[in-house]
Amino acid sequence: MSSKHRASDLPHEGRTAEATVANGESARTLDRSQRVRLGDQLYGQIFDRIASGELNVGDKLPSEHEICEQFGVSRPVVREALLRLRADGLVSAYQGLGTFVIHQPAPRLKTFGDVQNVGAYLRAQEVRLALEGEAARLAAMRRTDEQLKKIVEAHQAFAEALAQGRVSAEADLAFHASIAEASGNDFFLGVLETIHESIHGFMRLSLNLTRTGSKQRAERVMDEHASILAAIREQDGERARTTMQFHLGQARYRLVDRERD
């Protein structure tokens, strides 16, 4: 297989990446003793190389067979990781040419550590889209004045911390948890608790990028939170669901695409 094949509409002239990932010197095998599933680990390995610049926009990934050989995993594991990389907008497959990197996260993401777990974090984000969207809709319809006050206070605390450059995942979680609580259904909080570790990890990475990123990035996060709060305050259930899902979707994109910094 030639490593020089390249899709004609790729935005940059990138170096070939097959040797970068498949080369034993730079490779890291997957750890079957970990609780993290193999698909997530493989996703994390490739994501790590894209985030670090080992794989750049325009670079071609090895074939499925080569990745199987490199990491000692089955084709279904490789396909799962590649499909999710495509769904997250990091790579794209071109018929007859192969799979190429089309977007990169902000390079500073690597400095925060924990990148290897990003696969699990993003899968948890998919659950949150459905779960928290509905929780926000119900919160708008059912919230009491006291619950609204709690959401407002959590929003203000998050805004103040972000403005001072010391925002934490706990502050973000408090805002989202106050909305789930206002839904009037304890199961929402219960399900969120079961994926708490992944949610917390996602928020930690996202907020580190926001804290060290552009002013516009922080403003977008605050505008999204404010829109959710406004819909809940006005008891507009459908708008609350839509704004929550938009916020969670944008948070996902901001993590994987440096152009959204």
Per the structure block, which two tokens stand in for 60? 């071609």
Tell me the pLDDT band of 34, cut-offs 50, 70 and 90: low
Q: Hey, where are the domains in the chain?
A: 38-101, 119-255
Predicted TM-score (pTM) of this structure: 0.78
pLDDT digits (tens, 9 = 90+) for 126-146: 999 999 999 999 999 999 999
- Angstrom CA distances, 21 to 55, 67, 143, 238, stand at 8, 8, 51, 45
Average pLDDT estimate for 54-70: 93
CA neighbor of 160 nearest in space, from 109, 112, 212, 218: 218
Is residue 18 predicted with pLDDT exceeding 90? Answer: no
Complete DSSP assignment for 125-186: HHHHHHHHHHHHHHHHHH--HHHHHHHHHHHHHHHHHHHTT---HHHHHHHHHHHHHHTT-H
Tokens of 259: 């152009």
Taking Cα atoms as reference points, which of 206, 208, 181 lies closest to residue 192?
Answer: 181
Topology (CATH level 3) of domain 119-255: Four Helix Bundle (Hemerythrin (Met), subunit A) (1.20.120)
The DSSP code for 55 is: S
How many whole angstroms separate alpha carbon 159 and alpha carbon 33? 41
> What pLDDT was estimated at residue 233?
98
194-239 confidence digits (pLDDT tens): 999 999 999 988 888 888 888 888 899 999 999 999 999 999 999 9
SS3 label, residue 194: helix
Whether the per-residue pLDDT at 19 is higher than 50: the answer is no
Q: What is the pLDDT, as a whole number, of residue 4?
A: 38
Token digits for 167? 């925002």
pLDDT per residue as tens digits for the range 84-118: 999 888 999 998 899 999 988 877 777 776 666 78
For domain 38-101, the CATH class is mainly alpha
Sorting pLDDT into bands at 50, 70 and 90, what band is 166? Answer: confident
Average pLDDT, the chain: 84
